[in-house]
Amino acid sequence: MEINEDLKDVITELTNIGVGDAASVLNEMVESHVTLQAPLLVILTPEELEERLQNDIGEDISLVQMNFNGGMTGVANLLFPIESGKKLTNILSEGFEEEDYNSLKAGTLTEVGNIILNSVLASFSNSLSEHLDYQLPEFSDLHVTQFIKNELFQGNDVSFLCEVNFAVQSASIEGHVVLVFDIDSLQAMNGKLPELLM
């Protein structure tokens, strides 16, 4: 399926709305000003996505992944470079014991991922009037190649990369949102373009 500019613009706008909503929630969570900047989306093949991620955030990543289905089907992903994941954990968690760090990081980043990915998917659900069921987010540390080889990139699904740059208490934290939609979902979204563009 060819992604036309109107559909790309709508996906970009809905993602930006969701990221903006997530920033408001994170502001309260950390009791500090959080900014999340989401530039234009990029549509990539799995091979292009792997190369882009390796160049942008390195080979080892922290991943929060959330499957969704219902009116649309796909997978929403939040990826951090390992160092950014550590920074965010340190900012959001104080007074932890070193031996608890790995479980603390998993819990912290899962919660952040839950907030951001839920906000992005809610933006799509509300604007498209489509009910979505979300599965619980799952956290893992892995290599970018393992992420790309995951079954979510099999078949004809289309992936959208959206860089999300965090600024929390003057700490620069980089992350990426990767949305993967199946073809049927994109075609349904494309069919709603006339009302979305009014």
Q: Average pLDDT for residues 121-130, to the nearest whole number?
A: 91
* CATH number of the domain that residue 175 is part of: 3.40.1550.10
Q: Binning pLDDT at 50, 70 and 90, where does residue 109 land?
A: very high
SS3 annotation, the chain: CCCCHHHHHHHHHHHHHHHHHHHHHHHHHHCCCEEEECCCCEEECHHHHHHHHHHHHCCEEEEEEEEEEECCCEEEEEEEEHHHHHHHHHHHCCCCCHHHHHHHHHHHHHHHHHHHHHHHHHHHHHHHCCCEEECCCEEEEEEHHHHHHCHHHCCCCEEEEEEEEEEECCEEEEEEEEEEECHHHHHHHHHCHHHHCC
Number of other residues whose CB lies within 10 A of the CB of residue 19? 19
Q: Average pLDDT for residues 91-111, to the nearest whole number?
A: 80
Q: Binning pLDDT at 50, 70 and 90, where does residue 97 land?
A: low
Instruction: Print the domain residue range for 122.
Output: 5-196
Q: Which two tokens stand for residue 84?
A: 């950014």
Residue type for position 49: L
What pLDDT sits at residue 133?
94
Domain total in the chain: 1
- Is the per-residue pLDDT at 114 higher than 90? yes
What pLDDT sits at residue 122?
95
- Is the per-residue pLDDT at 125 higher than 80? yes
**Which of 21-25, 44-48, 54-58, 155-159 has the least mean pLDDT?**
155-159
What pLDDT sits at residue 1?
66
CB contact set of 173 (below 8 Å; sequence gap of 6+): 80, 84, 87, 88, 165, 166, 167
Cα separation, 29 vs 112, in Å, equals 10
Distance of CA 159 to the CA centre of its chain: 11
More confident residue, 26 or 112: 112
Could you report the per-residue pLDDT of 142-187, keeping only the tens digit for each?
999 999 887 666 666 677 877 777 777 667 788 888 888 888 888 8
| pLDDT cut 70: percent of the chain above it | 88
Q: What is the mean pLDDT of the chain?
A: 84
Could you report the per-residue pLDDT of 61-92, keeping only the tens digit for each?
999 999 999 989 889 999 999 888 888 888 88
More confident residue, 128 or 154: 128
Question: Terminal CA-to-CA distance of the chain, rounded, Å?
Answer: 23
Cα separation, 151 vs 39, in Å, equals 27
Q: Which residue has the tokens 């093949």?
A: 45
Do 48 and 147 form a contact (C-beta atoms < 8 A)?
no
- Is the per-residue pLDDT at 110 higher than 90? yes
What pLDDT sits at residue 39?
63
